[in-house]
Amino acid sequence: MQELRHCGLRRRASVASSMVALALLLLAGCKTSDDAAAAATQLTATANSLTSYYTALDSLLSETDQLYEVQGAINPITPYDARTRALVADTKKEIELREKLASALTTLAQEYAKLSGSTAAASAESDAGNLETALAGLNQTRVSMSAGNVNLMKDAVDDIVKSIQERKEREASVAIDKFTTALDNWFKEEEPYYNSIGANYASLTQALAHTLVSKGQVDASSFLNVALSPYGLTAQLSDPALKASIDNVLAAQIDQKATALATAQASASASMEKALAEMASRIHLVAKDKPMAIRTAPVTLADVENWISLVPQIAGTASPAAGSASSSSKSK
């Protein structure tokens, strides 16, 4: 009887020990899932900003196309020739392909966040397929600067699809780690290509604004509003000497604004790359089963979003109404 009691105690102790071990295992699993979900949420925000970044570049290219048309009309010795037109069109196509890639990554990251405990991976698998299609499009383009990194991303997507099919969160994290690292390296290599879009846009607007000012086709009276608006007065520039002096100030403002436009876009590119690098490092921690302490999106995304919010305003000043050049420079 005593022996049976001891046996029962040992059995209960063994069951209790097993339950503790199971609880620890579950807690460890929750920790991994929690980090993976947090990383996925942050990756979603980063990929969404990347999509908007490419959309903004696409807007600048649309405006660039119009700027070349205006330049050709104003100055016949610089016509919008077929070669330049094709280059703008090809560049726009390239950016649109990258926009689709970033959008597909955004959607997949959202599904990655739901993968833990998910009973249906079909939608995630479909989203991974969309990302795969976007990457295949990149392989057909002329301006892709790093086929090696594109291929690494393709291999990673294959692994993502497989891990999602098998609902293996850890393997999915490893595959997404591989993808985000290649994506960051690819963006870094293409960054000068992106910055050339903003620099060319700034250069075109600068040249057109100077031409219109020099030809006396800009009403600079609004430039004096800063002095007169408190009194409800409107400037009326009729003195040729005064108008010439104001035009000189306008020219300096145009140059300052053109520099600011190009610098702001390059700064947004640098901030976007820093965000991608930060996300790659965080997902790498999850893939290596190490704790990820940060629970907020990369801070540099705020700089990217700020530039994106300015692009509609920037593009609005690229139309033939070049007289707005002075007011836009004051708004910065």
Q: Using H for helix, E for strand and C for coil, what is the string for 210-262?
A: HHHHHCCCCCHHHHHHHHHHHHCCCCCCCCHHHHHHHHHHHHHHHHHHHHHHH
Token pair 């609005």 is at which residue? 316
pTM: 0.80
User: Mean pLDDT over residues 77-100, rounded?
Assistant: 93
Instruction: Please state the domain extents for the chain.
Output: 33-204+259-297
User: Mean pLDDT over residues 311-320, rounded?
Assistant: 62
User: Mean pLDDT over residues 283-305, rounded?
Assistant: 91
Question: Dihedral, CA atoms, 220, 225, 226, 231, nearest 10 degrees?
Answer: 150
Lowest mean per-residue pLDDT among 85-89, 145-149, 279-283? 145-149
Per-residue confidence (pLDDT) for residue 191, from 0 to 100 = 94
The residue count for the chain: 332
User: Mean pLDDT over residues 169-182, rounded?
Assistant: 88
Longest dimension (CA), the chain: 118
Give the C-alpha distances (Å, rounded to integers) separating 177 from 40, 158, 255, 308.
11, 13, 43, 27
